[in-house]
Amino acid sequence: MPGFELWSDKERKEVNDVLETGILMRYGFDGSRKGIWKSKELETAICETFGSKYAQLTSSGTAALTTAMSALGIGYGDEVITPCFTFVASFEAILSVGAVPVLVDVDDTLTLNPAAVRKAITPKTKAVMAVHMCGSMADMDALLAICKEHNLVLLEDACQSIGGTYKGKSLGTIGDAGTFSFDFVKTMTCGEGGVIMTNREEVYTKSDGYTDHGHDHKGGADRGADLHPFIGYNYRISELHAAVGLAQIKRLNEFLGIQKKNHAQLKNILAQIPEVSFRRIPDPEGDSYSFVSWFLPTEEITRAVVNEMKAQGILPGNFYWFDNNWHYIRKWDHLKNSITLNSLHPDLKAQVIHHASKDFAASDGVMGRCISTAISLVWTEEQIQEKGEKIVAVIKKVLSEQSVSL
Ligand SMILES: *Cc1c(COP(=O)(O)O)cnc(C)c1O
């Protein structure tokens, strides 16, 4: 899964270019930077690699989501539909612009259930945030149709699915805007960083200003001459981080190729067991292969398998999201109680609590049976074989014990 595993001289070289000049900031200092503009280069590379018209780098994926929502005009009074299985950044970003996170069920794609999205629409719904979890995509045709019918903004959180596609288009470039995260564990990394991609010029222009205190970047070499058409924040990436990303994006195809190969080998081993099924992928060709996500028949069996893997010391790298504190609604007590440091408007607070405390039994039925195995770039064939066989042995052991106890 993560590009950091193959850290190399290429990343060091790009970072060293920046260290040579000492200009660590992405804007200004034109004279001293000797033509080194890593952030701009990376934005151009992102547009070319993923087929987006515009790209705006940010300091994190979370900042990218927040920026995208502001640039898309989402804020006070708006409801944003988002899945109950995602990373906490989804609702953090929605709350950061003062909108209401409306959590809805996921299905066996591990992403938004389109029927649940439809049911959650109210006159206040402004946007749908599709999160392409664990390397693979949401049902984009269904979500695009819903958004079109109800005139909603579609924002894609593709932070976990860099390099994935849907019907030939890169994930993150299909909706009104999309985001990647380049944090340390993502498919390609900057150390910390993120990007907003969009084909809409005004969404890009607003993102560009918003991430840099509202600067319009029209003052030439003098930042003091820039105007501020609106209020922004500082969500800038640094040149050091962008330099790492620039090396990594040039290696992305290599990373994705290894992921695909390792994924296929591991999946084939797990598929030997008839009781194991796999996540449904709306466009199987477009998987980025960063995880194999698999299901067991019941929550009880899954939990027993997880416990046995833990006992045998083979759990690391395998994720049982159902019990995980930062990916699934079940453990988001801070959200369910709306615990924020700054006080929220009482109406917003009540809505947050309401939407986080709904019934997610349909998602529990999926997530309680799901284990995701992260695909490493540095595994050897022998290691994959051994890992796969150990997992298979654990599953067989648990299944035989369960049938004995029946
Ligand atoms: C990693 C991630 C983010 C946030 O990215 P950061 O760069 O860590 O802020 C957002 N959404 C999803 C689904 C992620 O996995």
Share above pLDDT 70 across residues of the chain, in percent, rounded to a whole number: 99
Tens digit of pLDDT at every position of the chain (406 positions):
589 999 999 999 999 999 999 999 999 999 999 999 999 999 999 999 999 999 999 999 999 999 999 999 999 999 999 999 999 999 999 999 999 999 999 999 999 999 999 999 999 999 999 999 999 999 999 999 999 999 999 999 999 999 999 999 999 999 999 999 999 999 999 999 999 999 999 999 999 999 999 999 998 888 889 999 999 999 999 999 999 999 999 999 999 999 999 999 999 999 999 999 999 999 999 999 999 999 999 999 999 999 999 999 999 999 999 998 889 999 999 999 999 999 999 999 999 999 999 999 999 999 999 999 999 999 999 999 999 999 999 999 999 998 766 5
**35, 164: one domain:** yes
> 192: Cβ–Cβ under 8 A, 6 or more apart, which residues?
59, 60, 182, 183, 184, 241
Give the pLDDT of residue 221: 82
Mutate to test the pocket of ligand 1, among 129, 183, 241 (most ligand atoms within 8 A of CB): 183
**181, 53: one domain:** yes
Q: What angle do CA 178, 83, 365 make, to 5 degrees?
A: 140
Q: What is the dihedral of CA 119, 72, 155, 167, to 10 degrees?
A: 120
Q: Which atom of ligand 1 is nearest to the CA of 132?
A: 13
| 8 A C-beta contact, residue 209 and residue 256 | no
Mutate to test the pocket of ligand 1, among 91, 157, 291 (most ligand atoms within 8 A of CB): 157
Mutate to test the pocket of ligand 1, among 131, 134, 181, 189 (most ligand atoms within 8 A of CB): 181
Task: Dihedral sign for Cα 315, 318, 322, 325, please.
Answer: positive
Show which of 252, 287, 302 is a domain's final residue.
Answer: 252
**Residue type at position 163:** G
Q: State the Cα–Cα distance between residues 149 and 251, nearest whole angstrom.
A: 40
Residue 119 domain flag: yes
- Range of the structural domain that residue 393 is part of: 253-401
- The pLDDT tens digits of the residues spanning 214-248 come to 999 998 888 889 999 999 999 999 999 999 999 99
Q: Which atom of ligand 1 is nearest to the CA of 62?
A: 9
Give the pLDDT of residue 147: 98
CA of 195 to the centre of ligand 1 (A): 11
250 carries an active-site annotation: no
**33, 61: one domain:** yes
DSSP conformation class of 54:
E
Residue 41 domain flag: yes
- Calculate the alpha carbon distances from 159 to 171, 203, 279 in Å: 9, 19, 19
Show which of 252, 282, 310 is a domain's final residue.
Answer: 252
**147, 273: one domain:** no
Give the pLDDT of residue 2: 84
Residue 162 domain flag: yes
Q: State the Cα–Cα distance between residues 128 and 376, nearest whole angstrom.
A: 31
Helices (H) and strands (E) in the chain, counts: 14, 13
303-330 in b/e form (b: 16+ CB < 10 A) is bbbbebbeeeebbeebbbbbeeeebbbb
Q: Which atom of ligand 1 is nearest to the CA of 192?
A: 7
Mutate to test the pocket of ligand 1, among 160, 182, 236 (most ligand atoms within 8 A of CB): 160
**243, 140: one domain:** yes
Query: What tokens does 60 get?
Result: 């994190």
CA of 169 to the centre of ligand 1 (A): 21
**237, 267: one domain:** no
Show which of 202, 234, 252 is a domain's final residue.
Answer: 252
- Edge-first strand listing for the sheet containing 54-58: 54-58, 194-198, 177-181, 153-157, 125-131, 79-83, 100-104
CA of 226 to the centre of ligand 1 (A): 31
Q: What is the dihedral of CA 133, 138, 140, 144, to 10 degrees?
A: -90
CA of 131 to the centre of ligand 1 (A): 10
CATH number at residue 394: 3.90.1150.10
Among residues 164, 380, 387, 370, the alpha carbon closest in space to that of 266 is found at: 387
**25, 36: one domain:** yes
Strand (E) or helix (H) holding 332: none
**192, 280: one domain:** no
Give the pLDDT of residue 404: 63
Residue 346 domain flag: yes
**Number of domains observed in the structure of the chain:** 2
Which of the residues 38, 126, 186, 267 is marked catalytic? Answer: 186
Residue 193 domain flag: yes
Q: Which atom of ligand 1 is nearest to the CA of 193?
A: 7
**257, 287: one domain:** yes
The residue whose CA has the least distance to atom 2 of ligand 1 is 159
Residue 185 domain flag: yes
Q: State the Cα–Cα distance between residues 331 and 333, nearest whole angstrom.
A: 6
**306, 357: one domain:** yes
CA of 181 to the centre of ligand 1 (A): 5
The residue whose CA has the least distance to atom 5 of ligand 1 is 61
CA of 82 to the centre of ligand 1 (A): 14
Residue 331 domain flag: yes
The whole model's pTM is what?
Answer: 0.97
CATH number at residue 28: 3.40.640.10
Residue 406 domain flag: no
Q: Which atom of ligand 1 is nearest to the CA of 185?
A: 1
The residue whose CA has the least distance to atom 7 of ligand 1 is 61
CA of 345 to the centre of ligand 1 (A): 26
- Calculate the alpha carbon distances from 90 to 93, 172, 233, 358, 367 in Å: 5, 15, 19, 17, 18
Q: State the Cα–Cα distance between residues 324 and 332, nearest whole angstrom.
A: 9
- Calculate the alpha carbon distances from 73 to 12, 103, 174, 178 in Å: 39, 20, 18, 15
Q: CB under 6 Å to ligand 1: residues?
A: 60-62, 86-87, 89, 131, 157, 159-160, 181, 183, 194
**230, 361: one domain:** no
**219, 271: one domain:** no
CA of 89 to the centre of ligand 1 (A): 6
Q: Which atom of ligand 1 is nearest to the CA of 60?
A: 7
Q: % helix / strand / coil in the chain, to the nearest 5?
A: 45, 15, 40
Q: State the Cα–Cα distance between residues 208 and 202, nearest whole angstrom.
A: 10
Give the pLDDT of residue 246: 98
3-class SS letters over 244-304: HHHHHHHCHHHHHHHHHHHHHHHHHHHCCCCCCEECCCCCHHHCCCCEEEEECCCHHHHHH
Query: What tokens does 54 get?
Result: 């515009």
C-alpha 283: how far from chain center: 18
Which long-range contacts (C-beta less than 8 Å, at least 24 apart) are formed by 29-34? 30/221, 31/221
